[in-house]
Amino acid sequence: MKPVLLDTGAIVALLDPTDSFHQRCADAMADLGAPLVTCEAVIAESCYLLRRLPGAGEAVIDNVIAGVFQIPSQLAETARDVRRIMSKYHDREIDLADACLIHLASSFATGDILTLDRDFEVYRWGRNNLFHSLIRLR
């Protein structure tokens, strides 16, 4: 079974019950049977954005420890590829987390992603494959 990519917005919305996308993210994650794959940059962004919500940062790390949020590679191993992706999308002001997720999509041959970021409607993985957000934004 191919994994599903996990972006920052989905983690934040899932762990913050006041987030307007909380229920949509919870529903999308509840329907998944696939592993959730992400990167260190997404974990760092999530912990930062959730820093004022007591226990949320720890919950993010607990999900990494439990293997719910899987981090299959380290930036040191993928930095050249990630740099190339950042260069390709420099006009969109791509951040490190998005570039890492694009790299993971190519590595795992999947565009299924839990994201609230509309940039993934523009980004492509592999040769020219579309991403498919599993969270309804509209």
pLDDT digits (tens, 9 = 90+) for 14-73: 999 999 999 999 999 888 989 999 999 999 999 999 999 999 999 999 999 999 999 999
Q: Are 74 and 7 in contact (CB under 8 A)?
A: no
Domains contained in the chain, number: 1
Taking the whole predicted model, whether its pTM rises above 0.85 is answered as yes
CATH number, domain of 118, equals: 3.40.50.1010
Cα 39 to Cα 133: distance, rounded to the nearest angstrom: 17
- 4, two tokens: 């599903």
Which domain covers residue 68, as residue numbers? Answer: 4-131
137 is a domain residue = no
Q: Quick check: is 136 in a domain? A: no
Q: How many helices (H) and strands (E) does the chain have?
A: 6, 7
Read off the tokens for 88.
Answer: 């390709």
Q: Is residue 82 part of a domain?
A: yes
Q: Which residues contact 98 (CB under 8 A, 6 or more apart)?
A: 7, 89, 117, 119, 120, 123
